[in-house]
Amino acid sequence: MTATHESLMKVDGRGRLRYTAEQRASLLDAFDASGLSGPKFADLHGVKYQTFAAWRNKRARLNASPKLPAPSPSTFIEVDVPAARSDEGLAVLLPGGAKLHIASTACVPLAAALIRELAGPC
């Protein structure tokens, strides 16, 4: 093999073609513009489809925007609540608009456990 061919296409010890990041990006850009199916495009360019599909998946993962925003850390603060009438209870507004109604002091430990669980990651 001449020096020119070695600089264009590198081969590893097992005879597999090695592509640079620029070559992969160029092939993926050409695929996006081609309108061909993945297997057909890979076959036309002499790339194993499994390799080509792995390149596409990697690029999709790198370019994907996160589906949900990262949860913000919850901070608990102590609040001085004036004594409520026994028939009113306590309403706690949770992030996202949910409302937790605590009807009696016996429900406070359960409500606290619920709020702790909601503050953790999903």
> What are the sequence ranges of the domains in the chain?
3-63, 70-122
Q: What residues have CB less than 8 Å from 108, skipping those under 6 apart? A: 102
The Cα–Cα gap between 40 and 84 comes to 71
Q: How far is CA 64 from the centre of its chain?
A: 7
Q: Decide which of 25 and 6 is more confident.
A: 25
Q: How confident is the model over 30-88, as pLDDT tens digits?
A: 999 998 999 999 999 888 899 999 999 999 888 877 677 677 777 787 888 776 565 67
Percent of all residues in the chain with a pLDDT value above 70, rounded to a whole number: 85
- State the pTM of this model: 0.46
Q: What is the pLDDT of residue 85?
A: 61
Q: Between 4 and 99, whose confidence is greater?
A: 99
Q: How far is CA 96 from CA 1, 32, 83, in A?
A: 65, 39, 27
Neighbours of 42 (CB within 10 A): 21
